[in-house]
Amino acid sequence: MFYEGYQLDRYIAENEREYQEMLEENRRKNEDYLYFTSVQYLDKIAKQNFNKRNPGEEVIVISDEPLPGDEVDFQLLMWIIEKGLILRSGWICFSHKFFS
């Protein structure tokens, strides 16, 4: 009788642990769904993959090969990197409102 109660307690504890893991996994999947269906994410993908830009935004292309006569503004480049505005290699999107 005592051993059966012990086994039952272990079975209940294991099921409770699995249930909590499923709840956490479900929570993460729900957060992922909300993120991947958000307007912000869709806007980001449109910018990265389809070169979309919103009104008031400008796109700056940084090339490995500088054009003749071009000078690099390292202070602006460092500001862009610090703000995390690089969307993918070679593309940077920002709005003038960052400079306001």
- 60 neighbors 92 (Cβ within 8 angstroms): yes
- Output the CA torsion 92→93→98→100 (10° steps): 110
Q: Which domain holds residue 100?
A: 53-100
pLDDT value, residue 67: 58
pLDDT value, residue 88: 47
Cβ neighbours of residue 53 closer than 8 Å, sequence gap 6 or more: 47, 59, 93
pLDDT value, residue 96: 40
Q: How many domains, the chain?
A: 2
User: Does the residue 43 lie in any domain?
Assistant: no
pLDDT value, residue 64: 67
User: Does the residue 63 lie in any domain?
Assistant: yes
Q: Are residues 57 and 94 both part of a single domain?
A: yes
Verdict on whether the full-model pTM lies above 0.75: no
Q: Are residues 57 and 100 both part of a single domain?
A: yes
Those residues of the chain that have pLDDT short of 50 are 87-100
pLDDT value, residue 97: 40
Q: Are residues 14 and 57 both part of a single domain?
A: no
